[in-house]
Amino acid sequence: MRQCLSKSWTSRLRRYVKQILFMVYFSLLVFAFFNYRSHCVETMPNMLIEMARLDNSDEGRCKLDFEKLGDAEVDIFGEPSEQSIIEANPEVQKGGKWSPSDCRSWQRVAIIIPYRDRLHHLHILLRRLHPMLQTQKIDYRIFLIEQAGTDKFNRGKLMNVGYLEAFHQGDFDCLVFQDVDLLPEDDRNLYLCDGYARHLASAIDEMRYHVMYYNYAGGVIAMNKQNFRRINGYANSYWGWGNEDDDFSARIQESGLLLTRPPPHIGRFKMVRHAKETRSEHGNEMFLGWKARWPHDGLNSLNYSVVHVREKPLYTQILVDIGHPPSSMDVYMTDHSKDVSLWWFLKYYFP
């Protein structure tokens, strides 16, 4: 009798264990299904040079010894003076340009910084960026795209202005769109483009050194001249904080471009501390309708006027009047024919 009882008890236990194992397996499958992002790929920075080598002759091209590059000292505190940065970077030319003198750089790179009223951040960034880009032997020029006036900030529009204005000043193969408060921590994180969209800020300290969600494409992103034009740049219609980088990432994904990233131990960035803005009231709602706006909201519909261009010792400052936001965002939300579903939206932000 006792034997019989213990037998039924063990068979019941076995059944429970089986059920639990099945549940775990099923949950993992569901988790993997939602986390599957085939357009996001991790690639090592040295691949950028290796791939370029396949297309171009590497005669006279700059060689980089990756073994010698690594973690750098990054200071997000202190208030470096402009003069001290100028003195520490004697080879930088007026306008914030530099190119290696002993080899040919792989790409000519324009660094585009959307900006208003963050001088303290700018100095901390320039103190880090100039030496790093020289270590990476990149032919570069830094552009500060400054929004005039006091209207809501429009990061996307400034990026588009930066793209067009950079080409008025010179020719570039690659553009790196860089927030003013983000400092790359690793010299191996090459500020170069691949044939896709390269999200360089793959691990920000504020986000616990993780990408907050797979589609995140904010902070610092590098894209070549052709690809940026091909996706019509950023949307111009996001005034205030939030969603413009998500709209840009959706354009990348929908165009069939990969979003490549350095592995997190290389894509590390520190953000200079500052007060957080709150999301613009209509940001999410606007984003639901991103697809209908895409063909006519971007580089092809950009209007602005340049107030002045000044070649400063460490950067080229381009002050621009980008107009005013409309009195109601409703003017941007007239066509709902291509609105994405709530399901798409939730999945988009799923980590």
Q: Residue 89 and residue 103: Cα distance in Å, rounded?
A: 19
Closest approach, Cβ 102 to ligand BGC, in A, equals 39
Q: Which is nearer to ligand BGC, 243 or 260 (CB)?
A: 243
- Which residues, at least 6 apart from 181, have a Cβ–Cβ distance to it below 8 Å? 118, 121, 124, 125, 271, 272, 274
Burial of 144 (0-12, 13-18, 19+ CB in 10 A): buried
Nearer to ligand UDP, 155 or 157 (CB): 155
- Does residue number 240 form part of the binding site for ligand BGC (CB under 6 A)? no
Q: How far is the CB of 200 from ligand BGC (least distance, A)?
A: 14
DSSP string, 196-244: SEEE---EEGGGTTB-SSTT---SEEEEEHHHHHHTTSS-S---SSSSH
The reply on whether position 246 binds ligand BGC by CB under 6 A is yes
**What is the rounded distance in angstroms from the CA atom of residue 331 to the CA atom of residue 109?**
36
Among 71, 117, 281, 311, binds ligand UDP (CB under 6 A): 117
Residue 245 touches Mn ion, criterion: CB under 5 A? no
User: Exactly one of 245, 252, 261, 280 binds ligand BGC (CB under 6 A); which one?
Assistant: 245
Residues 6+ apart with CB under 8 A from 120: 79, 272
262 binds, among ligand UDP, Mn ion, ligand BGC, none (CB under 5 to 8 A by kind): none
Taking CB under 6 A as the binding criterion, the range among 76-84, 121-129, 239-247, 309-317 that sits at the site for ligand BGC is 239-247
Establish if 346 lies at the interface with ligand BGC (CB under 6 A).
no
Gap between the Cα atoms of 318 and 144, Å rounded: 6
Structure tokens at 312: 């400063």
Q: Should residue 155 be labelled a site residue for ligand UDP when binding is judged by CB under 6 A?
A: yes
Q: 181 vs 244, which CB is nearer to Mn ion? A: 181
Q: Which of residues 205-244 bind ligand UDP (CB under 6 A)?
A: 218
The verdict on 118 binding ligand UDP (CB under 6 A) reads yes
For residue 265, the 8-state DSSP code is T
160 binding ligand BGC? (CB under 6 A): no
Using CB under 6 A as the binding rule, whether residue 218 contacts ligand BGC is answered as yes
Tokens 């960034």 sit at which residue? Answer: 125
Give the shortest CB-230-to-ligand BGC separation in angstroms. 22
What residue type is assigned to position 220 of the chain? V
Q: How far is the CB of 150 from ligand UDP (least distance, A)?
A: 10
Task: Determine the interface stretch with ligand UDP among 6-14, 67-75, 177-185, 278-286 (rule: CB under 6 A).
Answer: 177-185
Identify which range of 92-100, 193-201, 240-248, 322-330 contacts ligand BGC by CB under 6 A: 240-248
CB 298 within 8 A of CB 232: yes
Provide CB contacts within 8 A for 269, sequence distance 6+: 182, 183, 184, 185, 201, 203, 204, 205, 219, 220
User: How many H helices and E strands in the chain?
Assistant: 10, 13
Question: Residue 233 binds which one of ligand BGC, ligand UDP, Mn ion, none, with CB within 5 to 8 A depending on kind?
Answer: none
DSSP-assigned beta bridge partners for residue 174: 109, 224
- The residues in 194-213 that bind ligand BGC, with binding defined as CB under 6 A, are 212
Least distance from ligand BGC to the Cβ atom of residue 206, Å: 8
18: which 2 tokens? Answer: 């089986």
Among 165, 179, 194, 244, binds ligand UDP (CB under 6 A): 179
Percent helix, percent strand, percent coil in the chain, to nearest 5:
40, 20, 45
Which of the residues 156 through 195 are near Mn ion (CB under 5 A)?
Answer: 181
The answer to whether 289 contacts ligand BGC (rule: CB under 6 A) is no
How far is residue 231 from each of residues 238, 257, 348, measured CA to CA in Å? 17, 10, 19
Binding site for Mn ion (CB under 5 A): 181
Binding site for ligand UDP (CB under 6 A): 113-118, 153, 155, 179-181, 218, 277
